[in-house]
Structure 1
Amino acid sequence: MRNVLLLILIVGTIIMTGCSYEYAKEDGYRMAVINEGFPIPKNAYELKPEDCTNVIAKSAKYKLKDIGDEEGTPPQDYLDEIERWGWTELEDKRVGHVHYFEKEGKVMSLIIQQNVFDVFEMSDELEL
C-alpha cells in the first residue's frame, strides 16, 4: 500500500511540473480574450486586467514566466508570431516596453514586463 501511495505522489508531482506557466515558443499561441485576432502564448495565465479608460477599450493581463526580461523586452519569437497573425508593429510609436500593433484599423498595445504582460485594445478615439 505504501508503494502505491508513493507512486501516486511521484506521478502527481510530474504532472503538476508539466503544467508550469513559462514562455516557450513550442507551446504555441491562442487568441487573446479581448481580440480574437491577436495572439498570446498558449500557456499564459489570465490575471485581473487593468481598468479601461477613454483610450483603452478592452484590456487583459497575463502572467507568464520568462515572457520579458528586466527591461521588458519581449521574445523575438512572440513579436514574429504577432506579425504572422497579420499585425504590423507601429515602431515609430513604441515607447520603452510599450509596443503598438495595427491591423484592419484596430490598434493593440502590448506592454511586457518581467513575467507579466498586458494587452490593450485601444479605442477608436486614440490618435497615434
Structure 2
Amino acid sequence: MRQILIPILIVAAVIMTGCAYEYTEEDGYRMAVINEGFPVPKNAYEVKPEDCTTEIAKSAKYKLKGIGDEEGTPPSDYLEEIQSWGWTELEDKRVGHVHYFEKKGKIMSLIIQKNVFDVFEMSDDVEL
C-alpha cells in the first residue's frame, strides 16, 4: 500500500504546483478584504499585506499571474470594472503605476506590479 501511496502523492503535488492563479476577465471579481465596495479579481490570492502608516488605514496584497506587466500597467478591463463599481480614477494624482480612486469621499490606492498588486484604503485625513 505504501508503495502505491507515495507515487500518488508525488503526482498530486506536481499537479497542484502546476495550477497557478492567473488573471482572466472571465473569472470575474469579488470585494476586496479591506473595502467591500472595491473590486479585486476573483482568483487573486491574498498574501501578507504591507504595514499601515498614518496615510494608509488598511492594506491588502494579492498575487495574481498576469495582472500587470513590467511597467505595472493594469489590464484595462480591470480599470473599467473598478469604475463600474462606482469608483472614479483621480488621473491627475496618478504617479507611475500607482492609481488613486475616489468614491463617496473614500480614497483607494491601487499599485500594480508584475504578478502582484496592492490595494490601500487611505486614511480619511490624507491629502493627495
TM-score bracket, shorter-length normalisation: 0.7 to 0.9
Equivalent residue, structure 1, for 2:55: 55
Change (3 A) 1:31 1:105: same
- Letter of the 1:37 counterpart: G
CA distance in structure 2 between the aligned counterparts of 1:61 and 1:89, rounded to whole angstroms = 20
Output the TM-score relative to the length of structure 1.
0.87
Distance apart, 1:59 and its partner CA: 0.1
Equivalent pairs: percent with the same residue? 84
SS at match of 1:120: strand
Determine whether 1:124 maps to 2:124: yes
Question: Which runs of 5 or more residues in structure 2 are unaligned?
Answer: none
Equivalent residue, structure 2, for 1:115: 115
Distance apart, 1:125 and its partner CA: 1.4
Question: Which runs of 5 or more residues in structure 1 are unaligned?
Answer: none
Change (3 A) 1:27 1:17: farther
Measured against aligned partners, the alpha-carbon deviations of 1:52-98 in whole angstroms (never above 9, x if no partner) come to: 00000000000000000000000000000000000000000000000
- Letter of the 2:81 counterpart: E
CA distance in structure 2 between the aligned counterparts of 1:47 and 1:17, rounded to whole angstroms = 17
Equivalent residue, structure 1, for 2:93: 93
Equivalent residue, structure 2, for 1:46: 46
- Letter of the 1:104 counterpart: K
CA distance in structure 1 between the aligned counterparts of 2:76 and 2:84, rounded to whole angstroms = 12
SS at match of 1:82: helix
Equivalent residue, structure 2, for 1:106: 106
CA distance in structure 1 between the aligned counterparts of 2:89 and 2:121, rounded to whole angstroms = 14
Distance apart, 1:20 and its partner CA: 2.5
- Letter of the 1:45 counterpart: Y
Equivalent residue, structure 1, for 2:23: 23
CA distance in structure 1 between the aligned counterparts of 2:17 and 2:55, rounded to whole angstroms = 40
SS at match of 2:61: strand
- The structure 1 segments of at least 4 consecutive aligned residues displaced by more than 4 Å after TM superposition are 15-19
Q: How many residues align?
A: 123
